[in-house]
Amino acid sequence: MTGITIAAAGVLTFLLRWSFIGASDRLALPAAVRRALRFVPAAVLSALIWPAVLVSDGSLHLAPDNLRLIAAVVAAVVAWRTRNVLYTIVAGMGTLWALTAGFGL
Amino acid sequence: MADNQGSSLGRDFAAGAQAVLPLLLSVLPFALITGVVAVQLGFSAGVASAFSLVVFAGASQIVAMQLIHDGAPLAIILLTVAFINLRFTMYSASIAPYFRGASAGWKALAGYLLTDQAYVLGLYGFAERDGIGRRLAFYLGVALPLWFGWQVATVLGATLGARLPAAWGLDFAIPLTFMALVMPALRDAPSWAAAATGGAVAVAAHDLPWNLGLIAGALAGIAAGMAGARIRGDEPEAP
């Protein structure tokens, strides 16, 4: 049963990924779709980031006692200024660990 | 001539590998966590590894293992995996024009290796590279280290098991990585509107089933970006 699930999930995920790449020479997307796709990085990455920062255990944490929120704000400033993945991770994880140690949480 | 071309492709591969190196800082812990979760849910290291090889998509691997563990029916598991990984189809459509002219085999490999990180770095790197050979070389330079690291770290996580402390909050490195990756895409008011709307809607819709909040956020963000571009009277971009 687990084997079938893995195989089916694998085929499904592959088809989702390969879909437009596989058809790229046969398929010219309409102009409206191309305009929409320009916003995929901004929209999708942001939709991945915000819940990871603001939602934990299924509920929303907007108050400053959400240490991840504070760490994320620090990291966002570093990301904006440097556009560097390494510096952003160091700033974000460093802030999170310092706050966790400081608050004894 | 052939030699020149060969070493140029080597440089493109190396440039991709260099760009992806810092991303491994967040991807490898996530793969470790995926392996740890597998063992905690009662799966063997072999099953964890099979998931990583066959599915190769972290969030959906963890959720699928949880659902198998909970005894969910296959249809529900596949529906959930489809929604979590639907963003890859948006990536595929966005990045597809750059793979024109590649053979079917290369396109299949590019599809299998398409991740959040490979998509964004690929997209940024393709803009300054002409020709399918150079693009493929750069893309593989990004995607192969990600793939290899993912496979090794999953097995490591499953072997180390619970000895990896959850208190470190290593999963937080993933959104931090995305934060750095999203910045170059925020180059005008419509793309800021796309990001703000996408994030806010994804949070507001976080308790929708099957990870639909992510899809709702993505679609709302794209719509907001298009509306912003329409207000400004932007021309469509190539390709």
Query: ipTM of this predicted complex?
Result: 0.90
pLDDT digits (tens, 9 = 90+) for A55-92: 988 888 988 889 999 999 999 999 999 988 889 999 99
Residues 6+ apart with CB under 8 A from B152: B31
Please give, rounded to a whole number of angstroms, the shortest distance from the CA of A48 to a CA of chain B. Answer: 7
Distance (Å, rounded) from C-alpha B29 to C-alpha B23?
11
pLDDT (0 to 100) of residue B152: 96
Q: Looking at chain B, which residue has its C-alpha nearest residue A62?
A: B203
Average pLDDT of chain B, as a whole number: 90
Alpha helix locations (H) across chain A? 2-22, 31-37, 40-54, 67-82, 85-103
CB-based contact B194 A42, cutoff 8 Å: yes
pLDDT reading at B108 higher than 90: yes
The two tokens of residue B27 are 């991807």
pLDDT (0 to 100) of residue B162: 64
Confidence band of B160 (pLDDT split at 50, 70, 90): confident
| A60 bridge partner residues | A55
The two tokens of residue B25 are 């800082």
What residues in A contact B74, CB-CB < 8 Å? 1, 4-5, 8
pLDDT digits (tens, 9 = 90+) for B73-93: 899 899 889 988 999 999 999
**What does B3-66 look like in DSSP terms, one character per residue?**
HHHHHHHHHHHHHHHHHHGGGHHHHHHHHHHHHHHHHHTT--HHHHHHHHHHT--HHHHHHHHH
List, as own/partner pairs, every contact residues A63-72 make where C-beta atoms lie below 8 angstroms and the sequence separation is at least 24, other chains included. A67/A96, A67/A99, A67/A100, A67/A103, A67/A105, A68/A96, A68/B169, A68/B172, A70/A95, A70/A99, A71/A95, A71/A96, A71/A99, A71/B172, A72/B175, A72/B176, A72/B179
Among A17-31, B59-73, B189-203, B210-224, name the one with the lowest average pLDDT: B59-73
Average pLDDT over residues B162-179: 79
Average pLDDT over residues B127-140: 95
Confidence band of A39 (pLDDT split at 50, 70, 90): very high
Among A42-56, A72-86, B29-43, name the one with the lowest average pLDDT: B29-43
Looking up tokens 């904006």 gives: A80
Please give, rounded to a whole number of angstroms, the shortest distance from the CA of B6 to a CA of chain A. Answer: 25
CB-based contact B92 A40, cutoff 8 Å: no
Give residue B47's Cα distance to chain centre: 22
Please give, rounded to a whole number of angstroms, the shortest distance from the CA of B235 to a CA of chain A. Answer: 9
